[in-house]
Structure 1
Amino acid sequence: MNFDDLNINEDIKSAIDKMGFKELTPIQSKAIPDTLKGRDVIGQAQTGSGKTLAFAIPILNKIFIPDTSPQAIVLCPTRELCVQVAEEIKKLSKDMDKVKVLAVYGGQAIGRQIRALNKGVHIVVGTPGRVIDHINRGTLDLIGVETVVLDEADEMLDMGFREDIELILRYTPKQRQTLLYSATMPGEIKKLTKLYQKNPRFIKISDTKETIPKIKQFYFKSDDRDKIDDLCKIIEYWDFSLWLIFCNTRRRVDFVYRNLKREGFQVDSIHGDMTQKVRDKVMNKFRNGNINILVASDIAARGIDVSEVEVVVNYDIPQNPEDYIHRIGRTARAGSSGYAFNIVASYESHDLVKIRKKYNLYIKEKKVPTFAEIERKKNKKVMDEVKNLIENNDLSDYVSVVESSKMDCIEIAAALLKMMREK
């Protein structure tokens, strides 16, 4: 199905076209028609499946512009995802007249948010804690809300937001549309759906050929004590511009970050115990290319959507197979290709087997590169650059300098290579 086939506002179609989207993803083609009809939906889909557009398009399609009180609210687990979703909705509404979208979250001055709410907002995207803060202050009235979206519902419950979610839902009208999106469907989420949704359509997208597009997956056997050395060798050998490295715990994130920093890599870290201000600063450095390696925990990485990430590294193998899909889905965004590297200690072998079996994945073994292989590859890269210079530039002035030196040309080239490699 193409977006042109949908019975939606032409201004939304125009924005979708400018964003470069043509065909609907599986979750979009199954969820959007029912959502447009006003039906409640449960969508189970992995990261990168296109779920934001699946709920944002129907929300925007029924927005009544003259009413500047909130008509839809989207709840997200983290500030990062909150900002990402709000930006996506803003892009979709770019050709619509005066649609106001506001992200509300902790860590940002509340006064700015209050001023925006007082001026009028059609769609609020927020974290549960900050939304409740606004409700208690009387700065956010949800009585006119027609659509509630619980995005990354499993993550919100894991972070202890269930009571907050239920409180927010009690402030919304009973005659609302409730959309719930989640990567996993544990019992606690099923309880929520029974309590707060009416005859929802359940949609599950489980085809990993759709959710893991163009990702080449490899694993490297390693002893736990050798993992950090092996990671350094892997980074040295594969010359990717943006790396996202996952660890299972905050302590491991700190350990990997400290060791990579000591080795001279441009690296920073992000985990759930950091303040929002620190996390924002790190993410901006990563997006702007000021660092090219980000070490992260699963919770902190929710909402990271940097399309240029070329490789995801599992420094620790996740025990939950679904977390693996979440992690590697951070690469190969927007139709590009990507890599997933897994550094596997013997005690993690069973977890990797479990992941491979559950999703029928082809994860090929590779050897950790040796120092000699790393040196050869680096030398080859320099020589390829030299060849390119020779083929595409006029070097006559430099040739004269070399000839007049009366030194051996091979030795000059070797000395220059040494200078380049050791600078």
Structure 2
Amino acid sequence: YLSHPDGLTLKYRLTMENEKEDLSDTASSENIGEEEKELTFKELGIVDVLCDACEQLKWKTPSKIQKEAIPIALQGKDIIGLAETGSGKTGAFALPILQSLLENPQRYFALILTPTRELAFQISEQFEALGSSIGVKCAVIVGGMDMMSQALTLAKKPHILIATPGRLVDHLENTKGFNLRALKFLVMDEADRILNMDFEVEVDKILKVIPRERRTYLFSATMTKKVQKLQRASLREPVKVEVSTKYQTVEKLQQYYIFIPLKFKDVYLVHILNEMSGNSFMIFCSTCSNTVRTALLLRNLGFTAVPLHGQMSQNKRLGALTKFKAKDRSILISTDVASRGLDIPHVDIVINFDIPTHSKDYIHRVGRTARAGRAGKSITFVTQYDVELYQRIEHLIGKQLPLYKTEEEEVMVLQERVSEAQRVAKMEARDLEEKKFSKGKRKKHDDDDDDENSQGAPEKPAGPCQSQQVCTGLEDVPSNYCDDSEDMVLESDSDLEESSDSSDTAVNNNHASMNDSCDVNAFVIVVYSGSKYPDIITEINDDCPIVDCMEM
């Protein structure tokens, strides 16, 4: 429907008008005395083509926030939506936007601002799923990705833009020909976190370059003073939609705490994972380094754990999430980068391994489970140093949590095995840090060489190590090796060793045969790109001169 640059065909426009008339006739002919039943998306005013898309996504009935927000949005009003996490907020703004796009198709129709890259990709997936039958084009504009390729995507003028504020401002200021002067919809999802992450300056810049005549939807799990300030600056006569009380957790979530000495946290974690094996877990840590350490520890004990933290590259973050969503990994160990907005349907248990320093983050962490009406469980680890933080959480949610019962004798049986795994994990973490440090030093050395050449220093022969391709050291690794060791997603060490051994043998053989054939009058042209054997290549270069093709 939207593939034609001018938008919908006349036939489909007439179909939509007839649907609206039919819907109004149906509503007027309903019996007043009829018992109240579950509303459908069609009864909320959503057109058939989008209702079919909802059915394909197995959205049987609208959620509370969707029931409240969609009719108001279809009336053309601005909305402030406050809803518990996992309540279907994305559908509450995506469906009205897509329906309005069907009626008045144009490029750069809607902008959705999100605090994190992962949430941006998730929202894009939902827009594409809902709009697949009508040809909706989406673009995700976030940091950690190539600016040039994003500029090419923007040049295609998608209907929906999903962006983080910082990268969007970069494109507005630097990408020639890109502007949002015709924008019709602005959505700020997880608005409280956007502002808490110091994006206020970027949001202010965006508001200055988009039309005042637009519809604005502001969605948040919590209403803070900053959100109230943003509301006054960006919304016109908004309707407030609230389907939960402040800082409430969902009803079907069973919440527990466990009080343990700090030095035994790892042992209790392993005990709980063993006791509840067969479930999927999200384990929250407070720092990137503890995320890596915990992932190494659990992998050494045979658990299928995958880490997710802010120091990972964007591709590796998405790879970790994909593995967990696909149930290839049963444990996702994460910092708070994954605590907001992400919809991972099959999370059974959330473990707060490190208690959150901000009480509100507890709401978002435990909100990763018990989503969309399903049951779930959360367990918060409280050490002798965390009592005050834990009391703040109980005060915030307005109730005391029950103690998760464990038998100390059963737990301490694991102490010896866990201690050994801790020792190995510590060594592996140190090796990774050293590898990362040496990699950084090599990169700095290469940059210095480039500076010398640019200042007129004599250029070195075009040797193999001057290739522009980055030497990853993983050229021969099997395709099932997930991520690199730097990001702690270790897969198959035996496969890696076998591959490396076979590669070493092959290169050594080649090296020997080339040295045997070289004499003073011989020329060897070596073309390597990103090789992981610089010492061998250096020997070849010394023994057999490398000449330029023109000299031959």
Class of the TM-score when normalised by the shorter of the 2 chains: 0.7 to 0.9
Which one of 127, 130, 135 corresponds to residue 164 of structure 2?
127
Residue 209 of structure 1 and its aligned partner are, at CA, apart by 12
Q: Distance between the aligned counterparts of 2:99 and 2:400, measured in 1?
A: 41
Matched, 1:261 2:293: no
Question: In the TM superposition, what is the alpha-carbon distance from 1:348 to its structure 2 partner?
Answer: 2.8
Q: Which residue of 1 aligns with 2:416?
A: none
Instruction: Give the alignment partner of residue 179 of structure 1, picking from 213, 217, 220.
Output: 217
The superposition leaves residues 141-191 of structure 1 with CA deviations (integer Å, 9 ceiling, x where unpaired) of: 211111100111111122221111111121110111111111222222222
Q: Which amino acid aligns with 1:32?
A: I
Partner of 1:259, secondary structure, is helix
Any idea what SS the aligned residue of 2:132 has?
coil
Residues 1:48 and 2:89 aligned together = no
CA deviation after TM superposition for structure 1 residue 78, in Å:
1.1
Query: TM-score, normalized by length of structure 2?
Result: 0.63
Contact 2:248 2:397 in 1 (8 A): no
Q: Match of 1:195, as an amino acid? A: A
The equivalent residue for 1:201 is: 239
* Alignment counterpart, residue 150 of structure 2, candidates 107, 113, 118: 113
Aligned residue identity for 2:175: R
**What CA RMSD, in Å, does the superposition of the two structures yield over aligned residues?**
2.6
Q: Which residue of 1 aligns with 2:384?
A: 346
2:128 equivalent to 1:90:
yes
The secondary structure found in structure 2 opposite 1:306 is: coil
Q: Give the alignment partner of residue 55 of structure 2, picking from 7, 10, 17.
A: 17
CA distance in 1, matches of 2:53, 2:184: 23
CA distance in structure 2 between the aligned counterparts of 1:210 and 1:33, rounded to whole angstroms? 25
Q: Secondary structure at the match of 1:346?
A: coil
Quick check: 1:274 aligned with 2:274?
no
Cα separation, 1, equivalents of 2:195 and 2:332: 26
Identity %: 34
Count of residue pairs the alignment pairs up: 374
Counterpart in 1 of 2:101?
Answer: 63
Distance 1:79 1:231, change over 3 A: same
Aligned residue type for 2:366: I
Matched, 1:367 2:388: no
1:88 and 1:309 map into 2 onto residues whose CA distance is 19
The structure-2 alpha-carbon separation of the partners of 1:109 and 1:369, relative to structure 1 and needing over 3 Å to count, comes to farther
Q: For 1:328 and 1:158, locate their aligned partners in 2 and report how far apart those are by CA, in whole Å.
A: 19
- Aligned to 2:351, the other structure's residue is in SS state strand
**Counterpart position of 1:389:** none
Give the alignment's TM-score, normalised by structure 1.
Answer: 0.81
Distance 1:374 1:308, change over 3 A: farther
* Alpha-carbon distance, 1:56 to partner: 0.7
SS in 2 for 1:364: coil
Partner of 1:298: 336
Identify the range of structure 1 (303-312 vs 62-71) with the bigger mean alpha-carbon deviation.
62-71
1:330 aligned counterpart, secondary structure: coil
Q: Deviations over 1:181-239 (max 9, x none)?
A: 11222222222111111122222332599952422222222111211111111111111
What letter is aligned with 2:346? E
Letter in 1 for 2:44: L
- Which of these residues, 52, 65, 75, is aligned with residue 113 of structure 2? 75
Moved more, 275-284 or 175-184: 275-284
> Counterpart of 2:145 in 1: which secondary structure?
coil
Partner of 2:42, secondary structure, is: helix
Q: Distance in 2 between the 1:182 and 1:189 partners?
A: 8
Tell me if structure 1 keeps the 8 A contact 2:285–2:354.
yes
Q: Does 1:144 align with 2:189?
A: no
> Partner letter of residue 317 of structure 1?
I
Structure 1 residues 352 and 373 mapped into 2: Cα distance closer, same or farther (>3 Å)?
closer
What is the distance in 1 between the residues matched to 2:208 and 2:152?
Answer: 25
**Structure 2 counterpart of 1:166:** 204
Q: Which amino acid aligns with 2:384?
A: S
- Contact 2:76–2:215 (CA<8 Å) still a contact in 1? yes
1:102 aligned to 121, 139, 143, which one?
Answer: 139
Q: Distance in 2 between matches of 1:252 and 1:109?
A: 29
Show CA shifts across 1:58-80 (max 9, x none).
Answer: 11111157744211100111111
SS of 1:173's equivalent in the other structure is coil
In the alignment, structure 1 segments of 5+ residues that lack a partner are 376-423
Query: Separation in 1 of the partners of 2:213 and 2:147?
Result: 30
Q: What residue ranges of structure 2 are gaps of 5+ in the alignment?
A: 1-38, 414-552
Task: Name the residue aligned to 1:395.
Answer: none
CA distance in 1, matches of 2:326, 2:92: 28
Cα drift, residue 335 of structure 1 = 3.2
SS of corresponding position for 1:149: strand
Counterpart amino acid of residue 117 in structure 1:
L
Give 3-state SS (helix, strand or coil) of 1:20's partner. coil
Q: Distance in 2 between matches of 1:162 and 1:52?
A: 22
| Alignment deviations for residues 66-99 of structure 1 (CA, whole Å, 9 cap, x no partner) | 744211100111111001111111122233x222
The amino acid that maps onto 2:135 is: K
2:247·2:363 contact (CA, 8 Å) conserved in 1? Answer: no
